[in-house]
Structure 1
Amino acid sequence: MFSLPHFPEVGVQAEHRKRDYFIALFTFITTAICLITDSFAPLEMQYVLGVCGWTFLLAFLWGECKYVRVQVLVAVVFATLGENFASLFMRGYIYRFENLPFYVPAGHGLVYLTAVALGRSGLFQQYARVIALFVVLLCGAWALWGITGAERKDEIGVVLYGVFLLYLFKGRSPMVYLAAFFITSWLELVGTTAGTWAWAEVDPASGLAQGNPPSGVAAWYCLVDAVALNGAALFFKGLEYLKRQSFKKNIKVNIND
């Protein structure tokens, strides 16, 4: 049977929280609305969409623990830096107005939070291995089609598919990466189909042909997820270290007094 490290057994009892499903459903729907709207609306609409995105993100974070909040913050910062580098500098993909839309940072926060919510949901916990097998086969078929049958060759997609598998097999949180495949594939297909952005025919970093979007595009988002997970862990370790140092200093002062 197909298995991955840290995956729950098939049929494991899991808690089905309505909040997790609501976050996911809300993000899937509003992502489509946002990206389709931005495909034809004037530039000023991006600011309206951005305000809405930040409002919804902050509202959802209100009900999350501090650990998830820090993860989302790290994801937003890292993804925004990555967008500026990959899109504005490298020109690997270009938005309609050749800018970085105002809603993108908040959008990355919502996408990451959705991956977390789905990854911890009862559905994903209960059927983890079945979902993993489905994702591996589907993404693999997409990558194979990209180099054999697609009108626009997608060599970079095969590379990214391999990276995506590496995250699933070796990453800290395969459930989050699995969930990321669904939400990121959805937003990439909607965004590129609507014309909100377009991927360059040749990846500027590797020189390989790439699809619009690349089949293994979820790997890029998995990188954001991995940085968020590890970044939050480092943040709290650092915070705990500072607390210990402060405690030791206070003890020393009291003894000297």
Structure 2
Amino acid sequence: MLRHFPPVNGAYAHGKRDYFIAAFTFFCVAVCLVTDSNATLEKQNALGVCGWVFLTGLLLGENKEVRMQVIIAIIFATIGEHFASPFMGGYTYRFGNVPAYVPPGHGMVYLTAVALGRSGLFLRYAREIAVFVVLVCGAWSAWGISGYAEQGDYVGALLFCVFLIYLFKGRSPMVYLAAFFITTWLEIIGTAVGTWKWAAIDPVLHLPQGNPPSGVAAWYCLVDAVAMGGAAPLLRALKTVSTRIKPAKSRESAYQGASNE
């Protein structure tokens, strides 16, 4: 049974701001991916600069824990991008690289999932949204293995099962539901305009996969789970280090003062 989702790690609903974050990210994703479909490498880098500026602005209204979650999401997702794309070849970008806008883009996508997950709309209609997502993604996955799809998608079906585990057993189901919407949006646009292409055969599982795989949201749920699980411990560790450094600096200053006398 889907649980009602409390405020994300202490972050409370910000009303209209949550919807602005989501709308702004959906818009930026579409513009960025369509622009990159025929852009030069220089323009791609410029999109990356814009991404960092936009992400920084969106984070100004968030608390420390959400900011730390975004940082962790960016680091983890960027490492995963380099491993899955240039190294493994699970999907390939136009220039065979990881575009400069991808790291800040992951930050904006994660923040959008958090914002929608804590929004009044998602909290009020949690079960209805969950049913919609499960039915849509389930039908998409079933089509991929039915034999009627142009490109088989057994990997997508497996990922859909993983997504269900996140949704019904994970600690933040509303964030995962929100991740489905933003990630499906970016994957469909990105593959449709040729910004990247998924390999027909997954290089690890050696199974057919769609372009994009139907359950691709599961990969983003992993990023979300790592970000939410790692933020609080990392903040506590940083606080501990800070409290230990301050007394040491105070003793050093006192010693220097005594020496000068």
TM-score by length of structure 2 reads 0.88
Query: In the TM superposition, what whole-angstrom CA distance separates every residue of 1:73-118 from its partner, at most 9, and x where no partner exists?
Result: 0000000000000001000000011111010000000000000000
Distance 1:244-1:200 versus aligned 2 partners, 3 A rule: same
Q: Return 5+ residue gaps in structure 1 as ranges.
A: 9-13, 250-257
Is the Cα–Cα contact under 8 Å of residues 156 and 209 in structure 1 kept in the other structure?
yes
State the 1:245 CA deviation: 6.5
Question: What aligned pairs does 1:24-103 form with structure 2 within 5 A after superposition?
Answer: 24-103=22-101
Classify the secondary structure of the residue corresponding to 2:145: helix
Aligned to 1:5: 3
Classify the secondary structure of the residue corresponding to 1:213: coil
Deviation larger for 82-91 or 41-50: 41-50
Amino acid at match of 1:218: A
Q: Which 4+ residue blocks in structure 1 deviate beyond 6 angstroms?
A: 243-249
Amino acid at match of 1:161: F
Q: Distance in 2 between matches of 1:6 and 1:214?
A: 28
Distance 1:244-1:171 versus aligned 2 partners, 3 A rule: farther
Is the Cα–Cα contact under 8 Å of residues 74 and 227 in structure 1 kept in the other structure?
yes
Classify the secondary structure of the residue corresponding to 1:44: helix
Q: Distance in 1 between matches of 2:243 and 2:54?
A: 36
Indicate the RMSD between aligned Cα atoms, in angstroms.
1.9
State the 1:28 CA deviation: 0.5
Aligned to 1:170: 169
State the 1:169 CA deviation: 1.1
Aligned to 1:208: 207
Q: Distance in 1 between matches of 2:239 and 2:57?
A: 27
Deviation larger for 71-80 or 15-24: 15-24
Amino acid at match of 1:46: Q
Aligned to 1:144: 142
Aligned to 1:161: 160
Q: Distance in 1 between matches of 2:235 and 2:14?
A: 28
Fraction of identical pairs, as percent: 65
State the 1:239 CA deviation: 3.4
2:102 pairs with 1:104: yes
Q: Distance in 2 between matches of 1:232 and 1:40?
A: 37
Q: Return 5+ residue gaps in structure 2 as ranges.
A: 7-11, 249-261
TM-score by length of structure 1 reads 0.90
Q: Distance in 1 between matches of 2:74 and 2:5?
A: 27
Is the Cα–Cα contact under 8 Å of residues 95 and 197 in structure 1 kept in the other structure?
yes
Count of aligned pairs between the two proteins:
243
Amino acid at match of 1:169: F
Aligned to 2:237: 238
Classify the secondary structure of the residue corresponding to 1:94: strand
Distance 1:247-1:171 versus aligned 2 partners, 3 A rule: farther
Aligned to 2:257: none
